[in-house]
């Protein structure tokens, strides 16, 4: 599934990890890196690396947080929003292709199992 989606995102010159970050930022623009790490289940060094790449591409920008000068708020640029307006339908179609022929009840079952696995991982992960 990840590989198929990655192939579909190639024309946009973004990886699936970069897409996930941009997607979260489009939903909640102006959040800090810690919140972004929580929402994407990625560690902060990984978030920093991805944001640096997205910044060089002109897709995101960092602004110093008014309340905490050590923190930055991350926003999607106009160029980033334009890219996502084109990429989101492509990603949705890729997922439709992956789940083609699977009944909605089966997809719900799969979702519940995946969520249970994620909860187990989070519960047993030692930081």
Helices 78-98 and 16-27 meet at what angle, rounded to 10?
120
112 domain residue, yes or no: no
Question: Which runs of consecutive H residues, i.e. helices, occur in 1-127?
Answer: 2-9, 16-27, 33-40, 44-56, 78-98, 104-124
> What is the distance between the alpha carbons of residues 70 and 30, in angstroms, rounded to a whole number?
15
**pLDDT at residue 124, as a whole number:** 87
Confidence of residue 10 (pLDDT cuts 50, 70, 90): very high
β-bridge partners, 60: 76
24 domain residue, yes or no: yes
Looking at the structure of the chain, the number of domains it has is 1
111 domain residue, yes or no: no
Residue 91's domain comprises: 2-100
How much is the average pLDDT of 120-127? 78
50 domain residue, yes or no: yes
In the numeric block, which tokens belong to residue 48? Answer: 């920093």
121 domain residue, yes or no: no
122 domain residue, yes or no: no
31 domain residue, yes or no: yes
Taking 90 as the threshold, does the pLDDT of residue 65 lie above it?
no
> Which H or E run contains 12?
none
Q: What would the pLDDT profile of 66-119 be if each residue is shown by its tens digit?
A: 777 777 899 999 999 999 999 999 999 998 999 999 999 999 999 999 999 988
CATH for 88: 1.10.10.10
6 domain residue, yes or no: yes
Q: Which string of b and e fits 57-74 if b means at least 16 CB within 10 Å? A: eebbeeeeeeeeeeebbb
């Amino acid at each position: 599934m990840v590989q198929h989606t990655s192939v579909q995102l190639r024309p946009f010159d973004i990886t699936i990890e970069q897409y996930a970050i941009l997607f979260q930022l489009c939903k909640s623009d102006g959040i800090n890196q810690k919140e972004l790490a929580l929402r994407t289940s990625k560690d902060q060094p990984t978030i920093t690396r991805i944001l640096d790449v997205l910044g060089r591409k002109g897709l995101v920008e960092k602004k110093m947080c008014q309340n905490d000068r050590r923190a930055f708020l991350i926003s999607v640029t106009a160029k980033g929003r334009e890219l996502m307006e084109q990429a989101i339908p492509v990603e949705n179609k890729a997922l439709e292709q992956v789940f083609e022929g699977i009944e909605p009840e089966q997809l719900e079952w799969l979702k519940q199992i995946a969520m249970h696995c994620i909860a187990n991982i989070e519960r047993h992960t030692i930081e």
